[in-house]
Amino acid sequence: MVQSEEEVILPKVRCVARARIPTTQGPDIFLHLYSNDRDNKEHLAIVFGEDIRSRSLFRRRNGESQQDRMIRGAYVGKLYPGRVDADIDDRQGLALQFDQAGNLITDNQTTWNGENDTLIRVHSECYTGETAWSARCDCGEQFDRAGKLIACEREASTGIVGGSGHGVIVYLRQEGRGIGLSEKLKAYNLQDLGADTVQANILLKHPADGRDFSIGKSILIDLGIRNIRLLTNNPEKIEQASHPPLLNCVERVPMVPIHWTQEGEGIHSKEVEGYLRTKIERMGHLLQSPLNLHSATQPGNVLV
Ligand SMILES: Nc1nc2c(ncn2[C@@H]2O[C@H](COP(=O)(O)OP(=O)(O)OP(=O)(O)O)[C@@H](O)[C@H]2O)c(=O)[nH]1
Ligand SMILES: [Zn+2]
């Protein structure tokens, strides 16, 4: 069967399970775990907003019970002891509708309207930055900040308009810009020997950045998102994240390192400055830098 252009280009993703996660930061988030037809990794979507619904998760499956649906997380509203119907939350007066084929019929009362500009971060896994307090990169800071920005109306320190409680962090298992943690640790040793983050990858016979963000794009489309405000400095992400007419990047929201705008805050180390400098100088990241770059500009000048 001839596949349409969308089917040929985009990976197929399927949400396997969703669960409510009460967070230490205040809002509940809904963690979605995806399978896909490209790799055997468990890519995730951290969804802010109970009403942002995965079409693949909520699609009715032959022979399943309402209990089965609630167990995999395909329910509307809140779970509580004794609840028997996944598709109706009596306490909140919410009821989902489905078409003949079992696909969710969306309405503004129960489902986020994907035409809304939705604040999104497509984030690659970084164990060292997110879990091991590493000051070699800004990934952990970016991850935390994306969550805070999606949860708030406006970021006080920068005035950036937040997601007011609606948005998604697509969390791609692309550790080490896709080379994996073991190779990334070797890259760190090469960096301590004087290489930069791009040279280290190449010395290890890897591309500087071989990531493909298309699984993230498919996940956003599955979540019914159409217009995204993308939190990134990475031009490649902007390029790859859009897929008109299914997904449009309506705004790039910069992620300026906190240390650059708030003295004494954020991550400050010679390693992270070197990492950021390389991303600007050699990977074209869209950061206006107070860094003393080795390029033609005078130290301290703002790059346009
Ligand atoms: N190979 C390698 N990967 C690194 C190094 N430092 C961080 N990383 C990886 O770089 C990736 C960072 O990706 P993201 O945080 O999504 O962001 P980005 O591509 O830098 O672009 P932004 O969206 O602007 O933050 C993660 O996979 C990290 O594990 C390094 O020195 N070498
Ligand atoms: Zn990192």
Out of 126, 169, 239, mutate this one to test ligand 1's pocket (max ligand atoms within 8 Å of CB): namely 126
Ligand 1 lining (C-beta closer than 6 Å) = 123-126, 137, 139, 142, 174-177, 179, 184, 187, 197, 201, 232-234, 237, 255, 275, 285
Average pLDDT of 119-126? 98
Out of 127, 130, 139, mutate this one to test ligand 1's pocket (max ligand atoms within 8 Å of CB): namely 139
Domain boundaries defined on the chain: 13-52+113-174+211-283, 55-105, 177-209
List 117's β-bridge partners, or say none. 227
Closest residue by CA, ligand 1 atom 24: 233
**Which residues are catalytic, by number?**
209, 211
Cα 69 from Cα 297, distance rounded (Å): 58
Instruction: Convert the pLDDT of each residue in 30-40 to its tens digit.
Output: 999 999 999 99
Average pLDDT of 251-275? 88
User: Does residue 111 carry a pLDDT above 50?
Assistant: yes
ipTM of the complex: 0.98
Fold classification of 13-52+113-174+211-283 (topology level): Rossmann fold (3.40.50)
Instruction: Convert the pLDDT of each residue in 269-289 to its tens digit.
Output: 888 888 888 898 889 899 876
- The CA–CA distances, whole Å, from 110 to 90, 92, 221, 222 equal 13, 11, 18, 16
Model's pTM, two decimal places? Answer: 0.92
pLDDT of residue 290: 56
Closest residue by CA, ligand 1 atom 31: 197
Ligand 1 atom showing the smallest separation from residue 236 Cα: 19
User: Does residue 2 carry a pLDDT above 60?
Assistant: no
